[in-house]
């Protein structure tokens, strides 16, 4: 019998994918997995259809197609306040997850500790476990989910080498402010930590101030790898286009790992995606308005059942407090909701190493409007549980 690698000994399929399969089995409405079912920009689809024959169908350089990197550098200046050299400071990857994995492998060794702010994105934790890294959780308290100096400092030990910051955060929707990021900067400097920021939801926010990239705060640029991608902003998760940005000496190492893992991101899609990166500001305003409307409608649907939830500042998720359902866990709540309404959610345990303080489920907003209408109709059945 072929022996399974030890690195898989404590790993299993994610709760997100498990609930997607459970949803499909009952022909339900999937409000669990962030499948991004909103349509891509029409102009991007038209451009892709017209230009797909003309683009390069071979490998790109390991760091990515230069036109794509130049477009990314322009976008990073305009929207993130980062002045980067497209030839040395940017590397294209297979999704933001590819950038994250490459960063972990480039700088961390098995046994190194990585601080995770909880609730965390499940794949951030899964990758740490796959590479033999030690997650060091800092549980942020609802409803504010603020970074606290004492809690963060307490989590840092002699083995800590990095901290992961996701803003806007999945699943809480928290957008970390300058004062909190200054805490991260000070402690990262004191303990010589690498900072990895996941900013995949940077253009999706509901509060007035623009996105704040942590690398622009204090001296964080020198020790930060900023990762993001095109999946959420342009509703093209299947294109698997992401990128890592940072000082040349850090990105050169990320590039080596990314090259070793997958050679390069898809060249044709990189070249087509430069059109998306050049879309006007009005596109992003309309995107936020679209998600604001979906947020209001799904919030109203769950509140009509007597449940309460967070008010996210960004990203496209809701955390629903299911205490009123008289359940003792997010798993039980997700199962009850699926059984009674055929609406799938994700149990809160998927986003914590230890159990959350009360039963919660995560709801994804990135679904079609007719699916929201049908979900709202079905959720009325919860009133009678």
pLDDT, tens digit (0-9, with 9 covering 90-100), for 275-290: 999 999 999 999 999 9
DSSP string of 352-383, one letter each residue = -SSPPSS-EEEEE--S-HHHHHHHHHHHGGGG
Classified as helix, coil or strand, 241 is strand
315-373 per-position pLDDT tens digit: 999 999 999 999 999 999 999 999 999 999 999 999 999 888 889 999 999 999 999 99
Give the integer Cα–Cα distance in Å for 372 and 247.
43
Q: What is the mean pLDDT of residues 259-269?
A: 97
User: Can you list the domains of the chain with their CATH numbers?
Assistant: 6-40+282-384 (3.90.1150.10), 52-277 (3.40.640.10)
**Banded model confidence at residue 47, pLDDT cuts 50, 70, 90:** very high
Q: Give me the phi and psi of 20, to 5 degrees please.
A: -65, -45
Instruction: Give the Cα separation of 47 and 88 in Å (integer).
Output: 28
Distance between CA atoms of residues 115 and 164, nearest Å: 6
Sheet of strand 194-198: strand arrangement:
90-94, 241-245, 224-229, 194-198, 160-166, 113-118, 134-139
pLDDT tens string 24-44 = 777 778 888 867 788 999 999
Residues 6+ apart with CB under 8 A from 224: 194, 195, 196, 197, 214, 215, 246
**Across 165-194, average pLDDT:** 97
- Averaged confidence pLDDT in the chain: 94
> If you average pLDDT over residues 246-250, what whole number do you get?
98
pLDDT at residue number 17: 74
pLDDT, one tens digit per residue, over 92-149 is: 999 999 999 999 999 999 999 999 999 999 999 999 999 999 999 999 988 899 999 9
Give me the phi and psi of 52, to 5 degrees please: -60, -30
User: What are the tokens at 253?
Assistant: 């190492």
């Amino acid at each position: 019998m072929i022996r399974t690698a030890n690195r898989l000994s404590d790993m299993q399929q994610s709760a997100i994918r498990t609930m997607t399969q459970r949803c499909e089995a009952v022909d339900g409405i999937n409000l669990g997995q962030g499948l991004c079912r909103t349509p891509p920009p029409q102009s991007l689809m038209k451009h892709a259809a017209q230009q797909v024959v003309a683009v390069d169908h071979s490998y790109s350089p390991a760091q990515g197609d230069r036109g794509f990197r130049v477009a990314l550098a322009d976008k990073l200046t305009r929207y993130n306040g980062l002045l980067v050299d497209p030839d040395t400071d940017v590397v294209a990857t297979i999704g933001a997850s590819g950038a994250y994995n490459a960063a972990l492998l480039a700088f961390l060794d098995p046994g190194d500790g990585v601080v995770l702010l909880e609730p965390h994105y499940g794949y951030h934790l899964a990758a740490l476990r796959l590479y033999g890294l030690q997650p060091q959780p800092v549980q942020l308290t609802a409803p504010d989910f603020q970074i606290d100096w004492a809690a963060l400092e307490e989590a840092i030990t002699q083995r800590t080498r990095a901290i992961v910051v996701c803003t806007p955060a999945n699943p809480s929707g928290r957008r970390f402010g300058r004062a909190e990021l200054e805490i991260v900067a000070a402690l990262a400097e004191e303990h010589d930590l690498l900072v990895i920021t996941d900013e995949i939801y940077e253009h999706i926010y509901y509060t007035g101030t623009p996105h704040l990239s942590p690398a622009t705060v204090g001296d964080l640029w020198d020790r930060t790898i900023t990762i993001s991608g095109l999946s959420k902003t342009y509703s093209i998760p299947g294109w698997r286009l992401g990128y890592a940005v940072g000082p040349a000496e850090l990105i050169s190492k990320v590039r080596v790992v990314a090259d070793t893992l997958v050679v390069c991101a898809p060249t044709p899609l990189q070249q087509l995606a430069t059109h998306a990166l050049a879309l006007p500001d009005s596109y992003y305003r309309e995107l936020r308005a679209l998600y604001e409307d979906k947020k209001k409608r799904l919030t109203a649907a769950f509140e009509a059942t007597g449940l309460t939830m967070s008010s996210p500042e960004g990203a496209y998720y809701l955390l629903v407090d299911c205490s009123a359902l008289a359940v003792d866990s997010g798993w039980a709540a997700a199962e009850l909701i699926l059984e009674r309404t055929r609406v799938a959610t994700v149990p809160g345990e998927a986003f914590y190493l230890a159990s959350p303080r009360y039963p919660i489920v995560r709801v994804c907003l990135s679904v079609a409007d007719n699916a929201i209408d049908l979900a709202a109709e079905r959720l009325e059945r919860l009133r009678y549980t």
